[in-house]
């Protein structure tokens, strides 16, 4: 453990803190007993200075203890937070499909704060409480074993209370964190889709839903607060009962001359030293139960294993050809079959077009190439090697992927394009933008390439977002470029310009085009038609038109739509 030495020294400082703490009552005892002898009253001042010195030493070690343990806890928190983010970056789409973004954010922030409280104050007060009891109780026994036994009578009740209430706190806190995650998910989705909500005039409906979630959250918090609020007074009552028993029993012992007034005073001081640790014990139990519940939620992320593993082979950039082959490939999302018996060979440097109705499996097919989803049935070859044999990073570096649903960051246009190559020069970024036919429009912004984009590129049009995303993929210079309906927001002229640029400037790249528009695919070297997860037709544009199949039907329908638009 990296922090064992800091924690070790923290415990050493706790030991010295409590050593000096238990010395003070003994000094007070001596001073009070001296008051019975008028001849020795002059020595009381010396004891007073001694108490001051002991208190200073105690304060010093208390400071060192807190500084050591709190610093260690912050470093542990930092490492844990980094581990969470690293794990999130390494997990695959399967994990994110099962857990909402808001829930993940809640675990990485709110739950992390609860764990941090356990690592810092929780550890410090726990260790201090343990050593306080270990040091104080023996000193009480030295004064009077009988009085110590009387003082400890209520403590078994405290142990039962802590055990019962602690479990109840844990259950309630888990429910609170789960509800907070639901609220985070709801808010995140609403902010992301605010334009949709406004366009359908659903603000009132969403507000009502949020109020319902928030009310449920408040109810769960109040349930937690009620039991937590009763916990501390219950502990104080038990401690008060112990004090009452000590006063009654101690007074009797003083009257019977079994102990002195100084000893009773010291005993009461020792008992007082157990008051805060006892209260802290309840507080720490609450922290621990909260932290345990939160750590359980965090462990769900840390223990998650990606369903994709690195292979031993590295796809070398200069040696990559871009040859792709699907053999007897089947794919399902859980139990629902999406692709069935795919047989397809894509030679290096050709442009493949993919046509199909919504839900036919087009996007799923191309998402298998960068190994976003695992290939379990059948084989997918890249350059005549099973895709499972490649290291994921080297594979994905050779595959550029542009989707219809583009994602841009709240950053400059330059940095958004240079995402895959942060070290790219301005000239390289500009060249990629020119190929994607977006350069002139970027230059019309006040700050050009240094213009900042809003969240998800909100200040760009749909077509501009798509072209910035295309420029990003071009700059990465992959051997295989996938354009998944990436021209859906572009006019025909701009689309043709980009495709012509790609073919002219990068003739050796393997390009895969997915589109609902046959005009986008007609110049492809080879076209496949998907229906219900199966390849039902393939060939060139001319060959497919001669076949009485789905391709010709869609082509005829789209021609008719164009004629109607031209008449209008």
Q: Are residue 298 and residue 400 in the same domain, yes or no? A: no
Distance CA 411, CA 416 (A): 7
**Is residue 318, in this structure, part of any structural domain at all?**
no
Q: Are residue 225 and residue 260 in the same domain, yes or no? A: yes
Q: Are residue 374 and residue 502 in the same domain, yes or no? A: yes
Q: Are residue 235 and residue 369 in the same domain, yes or no? A: no
Q: Which domain holds residue 453?
A: 324-567
Distance CA 346, CA 325 (A): 6
Distance CA 498, CA 488 (A): 13
Q: Are residue 379 and residue 433 in the same domain, yes or no? A: yes
Q: Are residue 289 and residue 360 in the same domain, yes or no? A: no
Rounded to the nearest 5°, which phi and psi values hold at 537? -150, 155
- Report the pLDDT value the prediction gives residue 348, as an integer from 0 to 100: 92
DSSP 145-193: HHHHHHHTTTHHHHHHHHHHHHHHHHHHHHHHHHHHHHHHHHHHHHHHT
**Alpha carbon 22 to its chain's center:** 45
**Is residue 317, in this structure, part of any structural domain at all?**
no
Q: Are residue 383 and residue 234 in the same domain, yes or no? A: no
Q: Are residue 290 and residue 348 in the same domain, yes or no? A: no
Q: Are residue 227 and residue 78 in the same domain, yes or no? A: yes
Distance CA 159, CA 238 (A): 11
- Report the pLDDT value the prediction gives residue 436, as an integer from 0 to 100: 92
- Report the pLDDT value the prediction gives residue 177, as an integer from 0 to 100: 77
**Alpha carbon 179 to its chain's center:** 17
**Is residue 312, in this structure, part of any structural domain at all?**
no
Q: Are residue 281 and residue 396 in the same domain, yes or no? A: no
Q: Are residue 381 and residue 275 in the same domain, yes or no? A: no
CATH code at position 131 = 1.20.1560.10
> Model pTM?
0.67
- Structural domain tally of the chain? 2
Burial of 310 (0-12, 13-18, 19+ CB in 10 A): middle
- Report the pLDDT value the prediction gives residue 273, as an integer from 0 to 100: 82
**Is residue 431, in this structure, part of any structural domain at all?**
yes
Q: Are residue 349 and residue 237 in the same domain, yes or no? A: no
One pLDDT digit (tens) per residue for the chain, 568 residues: 567 787 788 888 888 888 888 888 888 888 887 776 655 566 667 777 888 888 898 889 888 888 888 788 788 888 888 888 888 888 877 787 788 777 888 788 778 878 877 877 777 778 888 888 888 888 889 888 988 888 888 877 777 777 677 677 777 877 887 888 788 778 877 876 776 677 667 778 888 888 988 889 898 888 888 887 777 788 778 878 888 888 888 888 888 888 888 888 888 888 888 877 776 776 777 778 778 888 888 888 888 887 777 788 887 776 788 899 999 999 988 778 899 999 999 999 999 999 998 889 999 999 999 888 888 889 999 999 999 898 888 888 899 889 877 888 888 999 999 988 889 999 999 999 999 999 999 999 989 999 988 777 778 888 899 999 999 999 988 999 999 988 888 888 898 999 899 888 888 899 999 998 898 899 899 999 999 999 999 999 999 999 888 999 988 888 887 777 666 5
Distance CA 378, CA 340 (A): 10
Distance CA 398, CA 465 (A): 22
- Report the pLDDT value the prediction gives residue 38, as an integer from 0 to 100: 54
CATH code at position 517 = 3.40.50.300
**Is residue 255, in this structure, part of any structural domain at all?**
yes
- Report the pLDDT value the prediction gives residue 567, as an integer from 0 to 100: 65
Backbone Cα Rg of the chain:
36
Q: Any residues with CB less than 8 A from the CB of 253 and at least 6 apart, and which?
A: 144, 146, 147, 259, 264
**Is residue 319, in this structure, part of any structural domain at all?**
no
**Is residue 311, in this structure, part of any structural domain at all?**
no
């Amino acid at each position: 453990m990296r922090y064992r030495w800091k924690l070790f020294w923290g415990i050493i400082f706790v030991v010295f803190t409590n050593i000096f703490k238990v010395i003070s009552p003994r000094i007070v005892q001596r001073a009070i007993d001296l008051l019975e002898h008028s001849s020795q009253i002059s020595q009381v001042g010396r004891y007073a200075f001694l108490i001051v010195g002991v208190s200073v030493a105690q304060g010093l070690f208390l400071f060192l203890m807190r500084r050591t343990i709190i610093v260690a806890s912050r470093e542990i928190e930092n490492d844990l937070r980094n581990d969470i983010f690293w794990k999130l970056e390494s997990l695959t789409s399967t994990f994110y499909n099962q857990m909402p973004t808001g829930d993940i954010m809640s675990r990485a922030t709110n739950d992390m704060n609860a764990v941090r409280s356990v690592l810092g104050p929780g550890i410090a007060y726990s260790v201090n409480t343990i050593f306080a009891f270990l040091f104080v109780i023996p000193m009480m026994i030295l004064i009077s074993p009988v009085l110590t036994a009387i003082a400890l009578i209520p403590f078994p009740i405290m142990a039962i209370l802590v055990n019962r209430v602690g479990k109840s706190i844990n259950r309630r806190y888990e429910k609170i964190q789960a509800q907070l995650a639901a609220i985070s998910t709801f808010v995140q989705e609403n902010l992301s889709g605010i334009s949709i909500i406004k366009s359908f005039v659903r603000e009132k409906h969403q507000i009502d839903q949020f109020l319902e979630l928030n009310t449920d959250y408040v109810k769960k918090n109040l349930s937690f607060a009620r039991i937590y609020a009763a916990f501390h007074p219950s502990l104080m009552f038990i401690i008060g009962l112990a004090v009452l028993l000590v006063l009654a029993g101690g007074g009797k012992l003083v009257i019977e001359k079994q102990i002195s007034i100084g000893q009773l005073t010291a005993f009461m001081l020792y008992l007082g030293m157990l008051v805060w640790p006892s209260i802290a014990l309840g507080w720490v139990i609450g922290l621990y139960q909260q932290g345990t519940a939160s750590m359980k939620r965090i462990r769900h992320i840390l223990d998650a294993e990606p369903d994709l593993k690195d292979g031993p082979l590295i796809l070398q950039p200069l040696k990559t050809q871009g040859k792709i082959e699907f053999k007897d490939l089947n794919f399902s999302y859980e139990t629902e079959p999406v692709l069935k018996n795919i047989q397809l060979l894509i030679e290096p440097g050709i442009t493949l077009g993919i046509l199909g109705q919504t839900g036919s499996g087009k996007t799923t097919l191309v998402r298998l190439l960068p190994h976003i989803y695992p290939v379990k049935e059948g084989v997918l070859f890249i350059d005549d090697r099973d895709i499972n044999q490649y290291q994921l990073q080297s594979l994905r570096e050779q595959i550029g992927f542009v989707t219809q649903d583009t994602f841009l960051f709240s950053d400059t246009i330059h940095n958004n394009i240079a995402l895959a190559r942060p070290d790219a020069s301005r000239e390289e970024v500009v060249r990629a933008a020119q190929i994607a036919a977006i350069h002139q429009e970027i230059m019309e912004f006040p700050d050009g390439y240094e213009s900042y984009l809003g969240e998800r590129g909100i200040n760009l049009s749909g077509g501009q977002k798509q072209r910035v995303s295309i420029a990003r993929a071009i700059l990465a210079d992959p051997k295989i470029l996938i354009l998944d309906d990436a021209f859906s927001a572009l006019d025909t002229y701009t689309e043709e310009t980009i495709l012509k640029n790609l073919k002219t400037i990068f003739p050796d790249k393997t390009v895969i085009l997915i589109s609902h528009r046959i005009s986008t695919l007609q110049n492809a070297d080879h076209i496949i038609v998907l229906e219900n997860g199966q390849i039902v037709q393939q060939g060139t544009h001319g060959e497919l038109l001669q076949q009485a199949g789905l391709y010709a039907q869609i082509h005829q329908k789209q021609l008719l739509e164009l004629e109607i638009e031209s008449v209008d």
